[in-house]
Amino acid sequence: MVTLTEIEVGARPSKAVYGDSYCGIYCGACSILNHGETGRGDEFIACCDSVPEKELACGGCKSDALYVGCRVCKIRECAVTKGIAHCVDCSDYPCTMFRMWKAGAKLLPHLRETSGNLDAIRHQGAGAWLAAQEKRWSCPTCVAKFSWYSVQCTQCGRGLAAEVHVLSGIRKILCRWLLPMAYRKARGTHLVD
């Protein structure tokens, strides 16, 4: 397995897995993945200021270059163990673990999209879903990609408020406290050095 300290900025997994996940999150719009590729942050990355810069990178859920928090993801572990491509392929879907994890949408609004994304994967196929997600998470003006919590396109400067999720108020305060704590817990569970 590749460690985060070995990830090159801009490195991407093969196109076949880029953006895909087990749970229905579009990894191509992940704040950590985008930060690792471009070095640019967003509202989510701002909440990770105590996480070492070199570790704010990921190749996506189905790559070998995972952010430490993704390495300890129980949903990912379950899907890999069962040999399924997506949670929706499991006879237990939506299981208790998925429902409890999805409840995190109260703090991280991008999780609200998972069930709809999994339905799209089931009905249209992963390829069509990935193509639609790539378009959805690209700037309408210049087609540069952006992340879940980007408020402005880093290429053309267009405001993205209508296209993204908002981390503000109590959510932002909780994220500033919980994300570094989750990082430390995951790091203690699965050392990356």
Answer yes or no: is 157 within a domain.
no
In Å, what is the CA distance from 54 to each residue of 5, 32, 133?
Answer: 6, 11, 27
- Render pLDDT for 101-130 as a digit per residue (tens, 0 to 9): 888 777 788 888 999 999 999 999 999 999
Answer yes or no: is 163 within a domain.
no
83, 22 contact by CB (below 8 A): no
pLDDT recorded at residue 94: 93
pLDDT recorded at residue 111: 87
* Domain housing 65: 4-135+168-189
Backbone φ, ψ for residue 102 (5° rounding):
-65, -25
pLDDT recorded at residue 177: 67
Answer yes or no: is 147 within a domain.
no
Q: Using CA atoms of 90, 132, 1, 52 in order, give the dihedral in degrees to the nearest 10.
A: -120
Q: Is the pLDDT of residue 62 over 80?
A: yes
pLDDT recorded at residue 1: 25
For residues 113 and 106, what is the distance between their CA atoms, to the nearest angstrom?
12
191, 3 contact by CB (below 8 A): no
Answer yes or no: is 39 within a domain.
yes
Domain count, the chain: 1
pTM, entire model: 0.80
Answer yes or no: is 149 within a domain.
no
Local confidence band at 41 (pLDDT 50, 70, 90 cut-offs)? confident
43, 172 contact by CB (below 8 A): yes
Answer yes or no: is 174 within a domain.
yes
Query: For 67-88, what is the mean pLDDT?
Result: 91
- Render pLDDT for 140-179 as a digit per residue (tens, 0 to 9): 999 999 999 898 998 999 999 888 887 777 777 777 767 7
pLDDT recorded at residue 121: 96
Locate 4 and state its tokens: 């985060």
Answer yes or no: is 141 within a domain.
no
Answer yes or no: is 175 within a domain.
yes
- Render pLDDT for 8-27 as a digit per residue (tens, 0 to 9): 434 444 444 679 999 999 99
